[in-house]
Amino acid sequence: MRVVRFHAPGDVRIEDAPEPSPGPGEVKIRVRACSTCGTDVKILRFGHHHIVPPRVMGHEIAGEVVESGADGWVPGDRVQVIAAIPCGTCAECRRGRMTVCPNQVSMGYHFDGGFAEHMIVPVNVLAVDGLNRIPDGLSYAEASVAEPLACVLNGQGLARVGDGDDVVVMGSGPIGCLHVRLARARGAGRVFLVDLNRERLDLAAALVGPDAAICGAETDVVDAVLKLTEGRGADVVITAAAAGAAQEQAVQMAARQGRISFFGGLPKDKPVIALDSNLVHYRELTIVGANGSSPAHNKEALRLIATGAVPVADLITHRLPLDRALDAFGIVARGEAIKVTVEP
């Protein structure tokens, strides 16, 4: 079968590999859609300390069961697979905090991922209820977007996005678009979208229709948000951009008792920002992080997509066959697309 395999930074090959067979307790799927994201581009360029090559990449996975060694799954079942796999037994997992499990392993990192014609769903995934049935009427491509939406759900839960909130989303990539849509579904008041790149901002704004689109290269973003919110600032600010400057601005534009989600991480060599601690103190701000998603978030994401609460079909702007996976990464790297899905 054909696979997209990471060998070393800058060396990702589309090549032949033997078709895997499932062991006891495992499920084999025919991958139908595996979406790409910025993480894939990062792995391609820099590798990852959890990846021992060669490793099949791809972590936003949907497919069809073709062989099953696990109870409850039969050929023909349409399934979505979690990406981040908690252990289910540690102190954090037992407290229900599966996104911060210190023993977490991941599809495409510790296990061969979804950029392949076939893939094994490991026992670890099934042990934490991480293989999900795709609701009827939902395409494989849409189901593959459940994983990033699950991460967005985790972030907005921690930042308590709710009724009437003015929400700023910084970064208009696929994650930013999902944040805009989910905030609306959670009853947010006004939602503002920010990006430095005017083209990408316009593309995203045309799809998700924020109440205002602010280009950081043309205007002072903090001023713009204060003007749009009658001087109050935003109840919630979400940074979906790997930029310390965005995180610093997020704190400055938050309303009293505002919540700030540092949703996107910063580059490893530049993780320190300047923070006006008195803003946090006097305005009673809450700053929260976000690290992936739990199996429950994935189930909820599938449900939200299926009910139409968070549509994703129109966010999939490019669909490419497996042999063009490297082109897909290029499109993502250049910011030309919202979501790029590979269909092996």
The C-alpha atoms of residue 55 and residue 112 are separated, in whole angstroms, by: 6
Binds Zn ion (CB under 5 A): choice among 43, 79, 84, 93: 93
At 254, which amino acid appears?
A
The stretch near Zn ion (CB under 5 A) out of 85-93, 209-217, 245-253, 301-309 is: 85-93
Q: Residue 143 interacts with Zn ion (CB under 5 A)?
A: no
The stretch near Zn ion (CB under 5 A) out of 9-17, 63-71, 86-94, 306-314 is: 86-94
Strands (E), the chain: 2-8, 11-16, 27-35, 55-56, 60-68, 78-81, 84-85, 105-106, 118-121, 131-133, 167-170, 191-195, 212-215, 234-239, 254-261, 286-288, 316-321, 339-343
Name the residue nearer to Zn ion (CB basis): 139 or 144. 144
Considering the complex, what minimum distance in angstroms separates the CB of residue 101 from Zn ion?
3
Residues 308 to 327: which contact Zn ion by CB under 5 A?
A: none
At 284, which amino acid appears?
E
The C-alpha atoms of residue 171 and residue 292 are separated, in whole angstroms, by: 17
The C-alpha atoms of residue 224 and residue 233 are separated, in whole angstroms, by: 10
Considering the complex, what minimum distance in angstroms separates the CB of residue 86 from Zn ion?
5
Binds Zn ion (CB under 5 A): choice among 12, 29, 31, 37: 37
The stretch near Zn ion (CB under 5 A) out of 87-95, 136-144, 186-194, 269-277 is: 87-95
Residues 98 to 127: which contact Zn ion by CB under 5 A?
A: 101, 103
Considering the complex, what minimum distance in angstroms separates the CB of residue 198 from Zn ion?
25
Q: What is the DSSP letter of 200?
A: H
Query: Pairing state of beta strands 339-343 and 316-321?
Result: parallel
Output b/e per residue, 60-88; b: 16+ Cβ within 10 A.
bbbbebebbbbeebeeebbbbbbbbbbbb
Binds Zn ion (CB under 5 A): choice among 90, 185, 273, 306: 90
Q: Residue 237 interacts with Zn ion (CB under 5 A)?
A: no
Binds Zn ion (CB under 5 A): choice among 5, 22, 39, 344: 39
Contact 120, 66 (CB under 8 A): no
At 105, which amino acid appears?
V
Considering the complex, what minimum distance in angstroms separates the CB of residue 90 from Zn ion?
3
Considering the complex, what minimum distance in angstroms separates the CB of residue 38 from Zn ion?
7
The C-alpha atoms of residue 129 and residue 294 are separated, in whole angstroms, by: 10
H helices of 53-118, in order, are 91-94
In the three-class reduction of DSSP (H, G, I as helix; E, B as strand; rest coil), residue 313 is classed as: helix
The stretch near Zn ion (CB under 5 A) out of 33-41, 234-242, 244-252, 295-303 is: 33-41
Name the residue nearer to Zn ion (CB basis): 128 or 161. 128
In the three-class reduction of DSSP (H, G, I as helix; E, B as strand; rest coil), residue 333 is classed as: helix
- Tell me the site size for Zn ion, rule CB under 5 A: 8
Name the residue nearer to Zn ion (CB basis): 39 or 154. 39
Angle at 58 between CA 55 and CA 61, to 5 degrees: 135
Name the residue nearer to Zn ion (CB basis): 55 or 259. 55
Considering the complex, what minimum distance in angstroms separates the CB of residue 16 from Zn ion?
25
Binds Zn ion (CB under 5 A): choice among 47, 58, 63, 86: 86
Considering the complex, what minimum distance in angstroms separates the CB of residue 83 from Zn ion?
7
The stretch near Zn ion (CB under 5 A) out of 95-103, 173-181, 232-240, 278-286 is: 95-103
Name the residue nearer to Zn ion (CB basis): 48 or 160. 48
- Can you give the binding site for Zn ion, defined by CB under 5 A? 37, 39, 86-87, 90, 93, 101, 103
